[in-house]
Chain A
Amino acid sequence: MSRRTAASLAALAAFAAAAAGMPSVLGSARLLSMSLALIFAVAALSVVVLTGWTGQTSLAQVTFMGVGAFVAARLMAPGVGLPLYLAAPVAVLAAAAVSVVVGLPALRLRGVYLAVVTLGFAQVMQDAVFNNAGLTGSQNGLTVARPVLGRLDLTSEHTLYHVLLGVLVGCCLLVAGLRRSSLGRRMISLRTTEVGASVRGIDLVSTKLLAFSVSAALAGLAGVLYALEVQSVGPAPFNPLQSIFLLGLVVIAGQRSVAAALTAGLLYGWMPPELTRHLADSTLGPNATNLVAGVGLLLVLIGREQLAGLAGRLPRGHRRSPRRLAVTPEITRNVPA
């Protein structure tokens, strides 16, 4: 294990320990925002994989979360009555399967075109599926009953919080492992230039589809967790603007690392309730949150761009630069003048 890996693992362990101790420091009153922060950190990981690594701009990540939440809620509802340990994997797979359908056109599209397609998909899902009582089974959203799994009593807020934390840490390890795998390197190689990646023998089709499905599976998992935490699933939390908000937070946080996802998740879970608490008019809450996120996002983008102009020429710190191919003098000499 290299020193960097050890340091990352230690940081993750420190985060987990701090998060595990949080409820006793901050009290149970803020347990909901803390739980939501953990759930949205999982959703933010999905943005890191897709947008941070492969550079695909998807505006439908929270929609995949909605797919996970609705499928799980529907399967666990009294009519079907699947237990959580069966419903959750099915919901995660459903989100991944749906993402492949969206990912197929994405094979030919990049950048702004993909953004438009995913935005359209998010709107269709919101209007035609999530808001459709005939499909979801209820006008006012589905209620989700928290199960008791053996010794794990998920009806207890504290137990659920620690389960959420465990799942998040598991996802972080998974994503970090993926980043170090050959698939992870292939995903990264798509970010700068897809043509270059394919010239080097990377299969764009499988890499892109895998990126989409891994990312949507993470989002779907976040949706299942959300359904468990909130105990009711309606269309509102999964509207297209939420995906935009989440993407914005991930970009603010740095978009490429597990740490960025954790930061974005904390912002997503914490900012709305905290801003609302300090406002006289509670209806301002969501708007104030969006305003802060929007201004923050623009400042980060502009700031980073200004810095890139300066820092592009400076040495890159401890990062090793890739080995250069030596140009042999013979070849240079043999070139006709």
Chain B
Amino acid sequence: MIPVAASVSTYATDAVLGLIQGAVYGLLAMGVVVIYRTTRTLNLAQGGMATLGAFTYIALRERGVPTPVAVVAVVAIGAAAGLGIGQLIGWPLRRANATVKLVSSLGVLLVVQSLVGIIFGNVPRSAPPLVSPDSITALGITVPVDGLVVLAVAAASAALLHRLLTSTRLGLHMRAVAADPEVAALQGVNVRLVTAGSWMLGVAIALGGGILLGPVLRTVAPFLLTLIALQALGATLLGRIDSLSGALAGGLILGELVTFAQELFPGTQGTGDIAVFLFILAVLLLQRRGGLVVERA
């Protein structure tokens, strides 16, 4: 199966492409973590939301809306949707058990996925380039310009998110709620505001991440994109769904794994998914019992 003549430059190119893909997974995963930390709700709808973002962006661009306006509009839609979900679903279910919260995100997924189908139809679309359709070649590595833009945007978003959580009042309150919602409330933190803020942030990241997936995957199909939730969720496991850097690292590893699995085993079907599944199993099972895989009450 392993191609004999695959040159070093092929692998180097794969490594860069994997990094680009992984950066988007990492970004989506950070969105999952932001929501999970404060609300203990694992957002299985992250992929569906990314689909909504990707398709809204494509639809706006097809109607001649300039790129920056379209990006801002999509992220704003995400923030508004997140606010709605946080207030209407997250807040009433704040004391529900883990299973109920999980199933509620399945409900959100069903709604988002059907809305995408109703508004945009269930047909795959080709994504317009973000900045330019060209590629640049350096040191024998050919990389699309858009890929580098994606990498830069993902890195900047990660840095911003880190800054938001560590050096703003909202970030401080989010960390307080993550540690203990009740004590945080007693200390004067507005838990409802923080819940809504987390959902806003997480869903905005999901929709924005959807925009970035376009140039990475070239064509976006609603169904396939919805299932990208698996990559996002798998990436979060590396950091117990609690750590932003863990999620980013998990995303980058998954990006490389998926790209190299497809390069090394071109004949097998579903290599990407198998790689992600094995990564998830390995992360969950190799961690010490009672170590990383511990569910907080």
Contacts and interface: CB of A to CB of B under 8 A. Distances in A.
Nearest to B276: A120
Interface string A239-281: 1110011011001000000000000000000000000000000
Contacts of A306: 92
A284 interface: yes
Contact of B108 (A123, A287, A294): A294
Interface string A45-67: 00000010001010000000000
Contact of B95 (A120, A240, A305): A305
A127 B270 contact: yes
B102 A111 contact: yes
A33 interface: no
A288 interface: yes
A287 B118 CA distance: 6
A302 B85 CA distance: 12
A132 interface: yes
Given A108-B293, A251-B103, A116 B274 contact: no
A286 to B, nearest CB: 7
Chain A binding surface, main DSSP class: helix
B131 interface: no
A297 B106 contact: yes
Interface residues of A, number: 50
A120 B118 contact: no
B92 A120 contact: no
Contact of B110 (A57, A109, A244): A244
A117 B284 contact: yes
B117 A302 contact: no
A115 interface: yes
Interface stretch (B144-152, B171-179, B199-207, B226-234): B226-234
A124 interface: yes
B270 A128 contact: yes
B103 A57 contact: yes
Interface residues of B, number: 52
A119 to B, nearest CB: 6
A131 interface: yes
B99 A113 contact: no
B156 interface: no
Nearest to A192: B97
A124 B99 contact: no
A108 B117 CA distance: 37
A306 B95 CA distance: 10
A247 B105 CA distance: 12
A248 B121 CA distance: 23
Interface in A287-305: 287-291, 293-295, 297-298, 301-302, 304-305
A21 interface: no
Contact of A298 (B44, B107, B223, B269): B107
9 contacts: A108-B293, A115-B44, A116-B42, A123-B227, A129-B270, A244-B106, A297-B110, A301-B104, A302-B104
Interface of B: 42, 44, 88-89, 92-93, 95-96, 98-100, 102-104, 106-111, 113-115, 117-118, 121-122, 223, 226-227, 229-230, 233-234, 237, 241, 268-274, 276-277, 280-281, 284-285, 289, 293, 295
Given A113-B284, A301-B103, 13 more contacts: A108-B284, A108-B285, A116-B233, A117-B281, A120-B281, A127-B272, A132-B269, A244-B110, A287-B114, A288-B114, A290-B113, A290-B114, A298-B89
